[in-house]
Structures are given as structure tokens and as C-alpha cells.
Chains A and B, each alone.
Chain A
Amino acid sequence: MAITVTINEETREIDAPGDMPLLWALRQELGMVGTKFGCGIGMCGACTVHLDGQAVRSCSLPLSAIGDKKVSTIEHLAQSEVGQALQQAWLDDDVMQCGYCQAGQLMSATALLNTNATPSDDEIDAAMQGNICRCACYKRIKTAIAQVSRKEDTANV
């Protein structure tokens, strides 16, 4: 029985069991492989997507639990101003090494700045600590978020 989900502003029919996590539907039913598999238990954040704007771990979100909520993924990130600014900051600062976790990092960072445009150092730590970077590019991730946040700050003055 097909499940209807709104993903990146499109209505998608997914022919999969309702207990299948969103991650595996995205990657292997819909061919959207930007969202990454890291741990399968919500411990690493590589699979982070937005559900009604909130950062959630798609490896632990069954399709049946999504309902009317809107899913947004890394493939759609450039559509948001903050997302695009973060993508650019990631490139300007050469944030990544292997890059595998970065889709999840960007999704978490975007959700943070969407709710708190000028987070403190500790607030960045708190919002990002669910996202593991095995290459440990944390210093640069933090710097990139802070840079975008400062731009926000200036824009609001």
C-alpha cells in the first residue's frame, strides 16, 4: 500500500511498509541519496532532514509517522536563504574532509539558524552535538555557522 509524503514541496507516493524509516525510502525507493546512512539508531546525525523545519533523524523516523508534515532534504537546501548561505560558507571555509556527514551537518545548522539567527558558542555546540564528524572538522563547521550567523546579525541591525 502506497504511502503519500510531501518531500521538497512535491507529493511523493512511496510503495513501502509503513515501518520503513524515511532514510531508506529516500535513498532506495526515491533515489535521493544526499541524505546519508551513518548509524541507524539516531546517534550520528548523518541522516538529518527537516520535518516541518525541525531537524530530525530520518533513520529513526518511520514513514507511517510522517503524516501531513513536510519533509525537506539536502537536495532542497539551496531553496532556503539560510541554507544557501551555509552551503556557501562551507565552501568558503573549506569545511569538509571526507564530506560524508556534511549533508546532516548542514541540515542541523540550517534548522538552528532558522530558529536562532544569532546562536552563542554554547548554543551552536548544543544544536550540533548530535552530528558526528569522524574527520573532526568541528572547528570549521562552527566557524562557518558563526560567520553566517554574524551576517544575519548585521542584516538585522
Chain B
Amino acid sequence: MSEATTLSRRTLLKVSALAGGGFALSATMPMVARAVGAEASAPAELTAFVTIAPDNTVTIIGKNPEIGQGIKTSLPMIVAEELDADWDLVKIEMAETNMAKYGPQLAGGSFSTPMNWMPMRQTGATARAMLIAAAAQKWGVSAASLGTEPGKVVEKASGRSATYGELASLAATIPVPDPESLTLKDQADFRIIGRAIGGIDSPKIVRGEPIFGVDTQLPGMVYAAYERSPVFGATLKNADVEAAKAQPGVIDAFIVRGNGNAEELVDGVAVIASNWWLANRARSALKPEWDNGEWASHSTTGYAAKAKELMDGGKAAQVFGERGDMAGALASAAKVVTADYSYPFLAHAAMEPMNCTALMREDGVMEMWAPSQTPQGGLTSVAEYLGLPPEKVIVHITRMGGGFGRRLNNDYMVQVAAIAKEMPGTPVQLIWSREDDVRTDFYRPAGWHRLTASIDADGKMTGLKDHFVTFDLGESPFNPALMSPDTFPAKLMDNLLLEQDMLRTAIPMGALRAPNSNALAFVTQSFLDEVAHETGKDLPTLLMEIIEDAETEPTTMGFTGPTPGFNPNRVRAVTSKVMDMADWGKPVADGHALGFGYYWSHQGYFAEVVEVSLSDSNKVQVHNVWCAGDVGNQIINPFGALNQVEGSIIDGIGQALQLAVEVEGGAVKQSNFHNYPLPRMPMTPQIHVEWVKSDNSPTGLGEPALPPVIPALTNALFALTGKRVRSLPIDTSLFS
């Protein structure tokens, strides 16, 4: 356990960055914020996260937003474990947005588990220690003579006991113990952590009860649609708001001016009606005129042509990683391998379209119901936009119908705030159509790589060069299009040259599940498979050669957070495990082939093997995926954990086979599921997952299983056909 993820008395929790860019968090995590003067008949709040009622009900606060990753169930499981609660008596409530009380509330970067593992254990243990102290005081015995059983404090010698409910109000008066003094459970004694527990909201979901952001219903609520230019960077000249107002059911229509920040608010027209379908239909009457500016000439084919021109031109504008003498390595190489790789823009397409509900209250408070992965960031953006102090903005966190990184950006929150401020006293629910959602995203950036490897006479890879063409995001603090100079295997190359050219674009870019890694795993693991093939070995063998000397380099491999850096033993373990699982190297069915891919991202180590065949019409058929993953020494909830891995694998296969966002005339061509075809049930392969346990604190599972499946698939297709997939999505005409 590293110091930075435990709590001291005045806890400091810092997470700086993840590989290739990401979040920078630095915040204190309050352990306890106790209610004073708790009465015996009322529920007593022992810590900010634990309240115990006289009827023994334990209410645990779910701290971080739930997007389907299972965090609303798994973090409270950790608290309940150390509290020694009776899980059947546990209720979970979603936290309000409150940095001071709950610390960082974020669903992103697979951070929730590693950031909260130790603090949640300590908050549970804190409450347990206070309950024990209360019993000791009540019975006039020493705390050391007491222990707990689920939901009660027990005196070991006499066997007498008191329930947590009986002790709670007294416990709330006990001084908060020093976190350093707490005794945490041995892993072997866990009885809640490690149990397969169904999602806490699932019973409501199967009954169709209101639970998602878009299910928010308030008295007198009206619905808003927002018309904006399909061309990114456009400004509004004018629109026929009177014509829209004349449409059936329309209550109002008005122009909204952007604030100059595409991550918050762009020019548009709000149409308000008693029913969203009526509001959305009335958009067609607006006939807006836009000033599309310089961006209307931009297209993805144009970007690709420019990228090729830049790569053909030789030297790139910037060098961002260099070691040894790459030119020398190439000059003396026995063999040189060169290949161009590329991948497209991708949309998130969460099932629940972007939406948010807002009420500008008569008391000057903006109250919001937000499906946001970063509600604290959304609160700040809304407060700044409205010119309100943060305490005048209340953000209720709703469950989300998927996130995948889309809801890290809170543009829809600012948009509805801009509308609701014009209608004080009336709750407004903004909903985007699927077309709005697909065409107004923060896209996974496209990218182009010209890779070159030098190989010596012994068949050893001696150097790597990458001419990368990406996008410049100007002054944006977070550029998801940048590649870390530590991207595997750069740090392990004796000779290295990483250089890049940047294209200008107005296309908004953002984090998509396993940002950077979801593209770079394909590029690097496919290219290494090419190098392996050229040197007469398989990719696992080459991978083991590359990491052979990794121990000698105390490297973080791109991750600069508080957790352990790259560990080659963990790579070896998952690789060897998945090779066993898949019978790697043994004969496969006629017309089938296997491919391997490995990646380390978001602190998780995953090695995967894919089995493919081609149908008579050259359709790619994925039959089996074997997956070995190492996310530390403990799977917190096997149900949710396995679900994340299975979903990530199918997600990755879908991206590889059929997803791309294309831009033409400065606007996205795709619009809905007919031309942005997400995976469907018949594409589901058999998926076999095994965990490799290592001596590390548990880390997150929302992302790291996705990246390796893409190169495993393309490498399998090479093994099957001899044709190398170097561009996504896979063009099956390659195989005919």
C-alpha cells in the first residue's frame, strides 16, 4: 500500500496524471463529518459515509457517480466490510455533490477503486472503532475486551452483545479515532469484499422505476431541445424563433449565445415545449443561419491526406521522445520494418442520450439533477457561467445510462443552466436526440503513425521510430490526442525517436474508455507482431524479450500517480496465464487462427487471445476470447468485475470491426445507430476470464481490459490470412 492512498489524520489525497494525459486531482478527503447532538431515537451519523439508525439499518453513502461500472455497490461494500456490518441491513444512498464532505467525486480514469480502497476501509473501521468505544463506555469495560460480529459489538469473555443500532447514538459522541490507530481486517477475514453481490439499483431497474437522469420528474416541468450548428466552431447569425413558437405545444423559443468555450456552451436556439417530442419537432421551423467560418472545409479524408503528406515529408515538427542513436541503429540494421497505422475518430454513444434537469429557484439557487461523471466540475462550470458563488448551485447526482468518458464533459449542464436561467421557477429538462448525441460529442481523436523498427543480425529489435500525426488542441489543458513519450515499449528501447506533427481542428476531442490506450494498443501491439513475424518468433516471445531488462530501469512507464509503476513480473504472469488458457501454440480448428495482445493501462495488466475465422463473405467471426487480468490482490465484487471485462472486450471488438466517425464539411456524417453500428448480441463470442492475483492494492476495471483485444483480433486475422490490418475499422475487402 502506498502512502498517498491511505489516510492520515489530515488526509491528503493526490492523483496527478495517468498515462498519456488525464486528470490532475489534488484534494483532501475528509474522513469524518459528524452530526452533533444525535438523539437516541434518530439515525446517528458516525462518519460522512456511515449513518446507523436505531433499527440497525446502516446507511452508507455511495460517493462516486454510477455509470454502470458498479461503484455505487462496490465502494459501500468496502465500508461495510471494515464496519463489520450485516450486509442485509445496509442501504446505499447516492451522495450529493459536495467536495468538502465527500472528497473528489469522479467516475473516470478507473480511479474510483484505487483512490478509495484505503479511505473507504478506514471510514468503515473508524465507525466500527467508535461503536466498540461506545459499548466499552456503556459496559464500563476496556475496548480491547470487545470485538464485533456482523451488526453488533460483542464482549469476547461473556458473550454479551449490543447491536450497532443500540450503540449508534452514543457512538456519535465518541471522539474520532486517529486513522493510524485503526486495525484493518486481514484479507482472509473478508466476508463482504470478494462476494458476488448484484448491483444495488438492479431491482429498481428491472421494474422500470425512475432512476436515471432523464427519468427526473418535477412538478410543472417543461422540456427543452437545443438546435446548434452541425459544423463545429460555427456561430449563429439568426433563426426564426417566432416560427418555432407557432408550432404545436411550444411554450417558448429563444437564442442562446455561447460563452466561447466549446466544452461549455456554443451558440444555439432553445425550444421549450410541454413534451420533448414537440420541442424537438419544432426545431425544423427555426431555419437557422450559421456562420461556419474556416471549419466548414475540414474533413477526415482531408486530415488523412495531410497526415500522409507530413509523414512522407520526413522530419516532423517536434521530437517528443529520443534515446540512443536511432539513425545509427537504422543504418546498421540487418532488417528494417516500416508500416503506417491509423485509427478513426470515435463517438461514445452512451445509451442514455445527454440530458440534464435544472431549476432556477426563486431564492437564486440553481438546482440541478445531473447525469455527470464529474459533477463537481459541472457545478463549477455552471456557477462560473451564471456568475453565482458555488454554494448557490446544487447538483444532485443521478444514475447514468452509460458514460464511457462522454459525461466527463458537462456541456449539457451549462446548456440547460443557460436555458433555465431564462425561466426562473420553472424546472427545465434538456434532452438531446440521438442525432445530437452522435454529432455533438467529444470524440476519441483519430491518429496516424509511421513506425519503423531496426533489427540486428541476431534478430533482436534494436530501435523504434514513430512519426505520429495528431491534433493540436491549442490552449486546452487536457489534450486526449497527445501520446505519452513513455508509451510501451518506448522506455525499453535502446534507440528511440518519437516525433510528431499536429493538425489544427475544431472537432471537440475527449476521453473515450481507456483513452490513448484504446488506440495505441492497436498500433504498438500490431506493429510488434509484425516485428515478431519478421524475426521468426511470436508476439509473446518478443514481448518477454523486450521486458527482460525492465527491472533495471526504475520507470513509471508513463504513470506518475501514487501507485506502483510498471512491473514486468505482472506482464509475465498475465501473458503466461492467457497462453495456458488459450492453448497457445497448439493446433486450432481448420480455418481458425489465434492472435495475442497485451496492454497495461489504468494500472491493470491484461493479456488476451482472440480466435477468429472468416465467413464465406469474409465477415470476421470472433469465436473465443481468453483474457487474463491482474488488478491487484483483491477482486472487490466478482459480479461487477467480470461484467466490466466482458463488456470491454465486446466494446473493443465493435470498435475494431465497425465503428468510425467521419467528418465532411466540418460536420459529423454519422447520426444514429444505422450508421454508427454498435455491437449486437449475435457478435458475442465466448469469453473466458481469469484473474491473476498480485501483491498490489486493487485497481479499477472500467477500462484496462479493452485495449488488448483490438490488436489480439487484428493479429489473429494476420495469422489467418497473412494480411495485416493497419487501419481501423477493419476493411474486410483486405481479405478477398
Contact = CB atoms under 8 A, between A and B. Distances in A.
Q: Note whether A and B form a binding pair.
A: yes
Interface in B184-198: 196, 198
Contacts of A95: 202
A98 B201 CA distance: 10
B682 A129 contact: yes
A133 B205 CA distance: 14
Interface in A15-52: 16-17, 20-21, 23-24, 28-29, 31-41, 43-44, 46
Contact of B646 (A41, A102, A139): A139
Given A33-B215, A37-B214, A98-B402, A28 B202 contact: no
B354 to A, nearest CB: 12
A13 to B, nearest CB: 15
A126 B680 CA distance: 10
B275 interface: yes
Interface in B122-165: none
Nearest to A17: B248
**Interface hub of B203, B248, B678, B684 (most chain A Cβ within 10 A):** B684
A138 B70 contact: no
A97 B351 contact: no
A142 B435 CA distance: 29
**Interface hub of A95, A131, A135, A142 (most chain B Cβ within 10 A):** A135
A35 to B, nearest CB: 7
A77 interface: yes
Nearest to A73: B208
Given A20-B275, A21-B277, A39 B434 contact: yes
A101 B654 CA distance: 18
A131 B131 CA distance: 49
A78 B352 contact: no
A1 to B, nearest CB: 12
B212 A136 contact: no
A5 interface: no
A91 B353 CA distance: 25
A142 B569 CA distance: 37
A100 B275 contact: no
Interface in A73-130: 73-75, 77-78, 87, 90-92, 94-103, 106, 124-126, 128-130
Contacts of A134: 349-351, 401-402, 404, 678
Interface residues of A, number: 60
Nearest to B678: A132
A71 interface: no
Contacts, number: 186
B672 A39 contact: yes
Interface string A48-76: 00000000000000000000000001110
Interface residues of B, number: 65
A28 B275 contact: yes
B643 interface: yes
A98 B639 contact: no
**Interface hub of A16, A28, A95, A129 (most chain B Cβ within 10 A):** A28
Contacts of A98: 67-68, 350-352, 399-403
Contacts of B206: 77, 87, 90-91, 102-103, 106
Given A38-B351, A75-B208, A134-B349, A125 B643 contact: no
Contacts of B640: 94, 97
B199 A125 contact: no
Contacts of B682: 125-126, 129
B519 to A, nearest CB: 19
A141 interface: yes
A74 to B, nearest CB: 3
Given A97-B643, A99-B205, A136-B679, 20 more contacts: A32-B208, A38-B352, A38-B353, A39-B434, A39-B673, A40-B433, A41-B673, A46-B351, A77-B207, A77-B208, A78-B207, A92-B198, A96-B202, A98-B399, A99-B199, A138-B679, A138-B683, A139-B684, A140-B643, A141-B681
18 contacts: A16-B275, A21-B277, A23-B277, A28-B274, A28-B276, A36-B351, A39-B672, A73-B208, A75-B208, A78-B207, A87-B206, A87-B207, A99-B399, A101-B351, A103-B206, A133-B681, A134-B351, A136-B650
Nearest 9 interchain pairs by C-beta:
A34-B208, A100-B401, A98-B68, A74-B208, A136-B650, A97-B68, A24-B277, A99-B205, A43-B673
Interface of A: 16-17, 20-21, 23-24, 28-29, 31-41, 43-44, 46, 73-75, 77-78, 87, 90-92, 94-103, 106, 124-126, 128-142
